[in-house]
A and B are shown apart, each in its own frame.
Chain A
Amino acid sequence: MPDNMPLLSVKNLCKYFPAGRGVLRAVDNVSFDIRQGETFSLVGESGCGKTTCGRTLLGVYTPTSGEVYYNGTDISTFSKREKKLFGKKAQMIFQDPYSCLDPRMTIGSIIQEGMKVHFDLSASERQNKAEEILRKTGLRADFASRFPHELSGGQRQRVGIARALALEPDFIVCDEPIASLDVSIQAQIINLLIKLQQEMGLSYLFISHDLSVVRHISDRIGVMYLGGIVESAPAEEIFRNPFHPYTQALFSSILSVDSDRSSGASRIKLEGEVPSPVNSPSGCKFRTRCKYAAEICSNISPELREIEKDHFAACHLINK
Chain B
Amino acid sequence: MAVLLDVKNLSVSFRTMHGEVKAVRDVSFELHEGENLAIVGESGCGKTVTSKAILRLHDRSGGIVSEGSEILFEGKNIVRMSRKEIGEIRGNGISMIFQDSMTSLNPTMVIGKQIAENILIHKKTGKGESLSQAKKLLELVNVPDAAERMNQYPHQLSGGLRQRVMIAMAIACNPKILIADEPTTALDVTVQAQILELLSDLQKQFGMSVILVTHDFGVVANFADRIQVMYAGSIVERGKKEEIFSDPKHPYTWALLKSIPGRHQGHKGELYSIRGTPPDLLLPLEHCPFSPRCEYCMPICKKRRPEEKYMTETHGIACWLTHEKAPRVDNPLKIGGEARAR
Contact = CB atoms under 8 A, between A and B. Distances in A.
Interface string B249-263: 000000111011111
A190 B271 contact: yes
Contacts of A188: 273
B196 A255 contact: yes
A256 B262 contact: yes
A141 interface: no
B328 interface: no
A216 B260 CA distance: 10
A191 B268 CA distance: 8
A198 to B, nearest CB: 8
Contacts of B262: 212, 216, 256-258
6 contacts: A183-B42, A212-B261, A215-B261, A217-B261, A255-B216, A257-B221
Given A187-B260, A261-B196, 11 more contacts: A152-B277, A182-B42, A184-B273, A187-B273, A191-B270, A216-B267, A216-B269, A217-B261, A250-B189, A255-B192, A262-B222
A284 B160 CA distance: 24
B67 to A, nearest CB: 32
Interface residues of A, number: 39
A184 B42 contact: yes
A257 B245 contact: yes
Nearest to A267: B193
B234 to A, nearest CB: 17
Contacts of B257: 257
Contacts of A257: 217-218, 221, 245, 257, 260, 262, 340-341
B296 interface: no
B272 A187 contact: yes
A121 B44 CA distance: 42
Contacts of A258: 221, 262-263, 340-342
**Residue in B193, B270, B340 whose Cβ sees the most chain A Cβ within 10 Å:** B193
A270 interface: yes
Contacts of A236: 267
Interface in A229-279: 235-236, 249-250, 253-262, 267, 269-270, 272-273
B158 interface: yes
Contact of A216 (B219, B245, B265): B265
A269 B270 CA distance: 34
B52 interface: no
A211 interface: yes
Contacts of B139: none
A64 B287 CA distance: 61
A46 interface: yes
A191 to B, nearest CB: 5
Nearest to B263: A258
A231 B197 CA distance: 27
A211 B340 contact: no
Contacts of B103: none
B221 A255 contact: yes
A213 interface: yes
Given A187-B259, A235-B267, A256-B221, A211 B215 contact: no
Nearest to B161: A273
Contacts of A45: 188-191
Nearest to A189: B273
Nearest to A211: B189
A183 B270 CA distance: 14
Interface string A270-295: 10110000000000000000000000
A215 B192 CA distance: 19
B218 A216 contact: no
A257 B256 CA distance: 11
A71 interface: no
B163 to A, nearest CB: 13
Interface in B267-292: 267-274, 277
B144 interface: yes
Nearest to A194: B268
Given A212-B261, A259-B221, A261-B222, A183 B190 contact: no
A52 interface: no
B43 interface: yes
Contacts of B218: 212, 254-257, 259
B153 interface: no
Nearest to B160: A273
Interface string A206-227: 0001011101110000000000
Nearest to A251: B189
